[in-house]
Amino acid sequence: MNSNKVLASLCYFSIFFAGFIFPIVVYFVTDHPEVKRHAKKALLSHLIPALTILLFIVSSIFAGWTGRGSDVSFWVGGGLVWIGFIAAGIVNLVVVIWNIIRGIQVLK
């Protein structure tokens, strides 16, 4: 098996063990253009879960601000937190599955 394919595939699989670090290191260390392309795509796909978690935190803070008034605003704010939590979970699950599929496709 070609070591460039394995390295490109590991960039996608690194969502389980090295997150951002591995694709960044591979991108700057390797000279092979195909591996660089996969490292960049893997890094971008690793950023998506971080952004969804950040959006979830912001929505939770916003819900805390809106929940200080009446009972109605508390339930609306709480609903916003749950919607954000579920949306972030679904997006993160899809990104992990996509990285697994792309990692396997690169190995073939």
Number of domains in the chain: 1
Beta strands (DSSP E) in 2-108 are none
| Longest CA pairwise span in the chain (Å) | 63
Cα gap 89→82, rounded to integer Å: 10
pTM over 0.75: yes
- Cβ distance 27 to 1 under 8 Å? no
What tens digit of pLDDT does each residue of 18-52 get?
Answer: 778 999 999 999 999 999 999 999 999 999 888 88
Q: Give me the domain span that covers residue 103.
A: 3-107
| 60-105 confidence digits (pLDDT tens) | 777 666 555 555 555 555 676 777 788 888 999 999 999 999 999 9
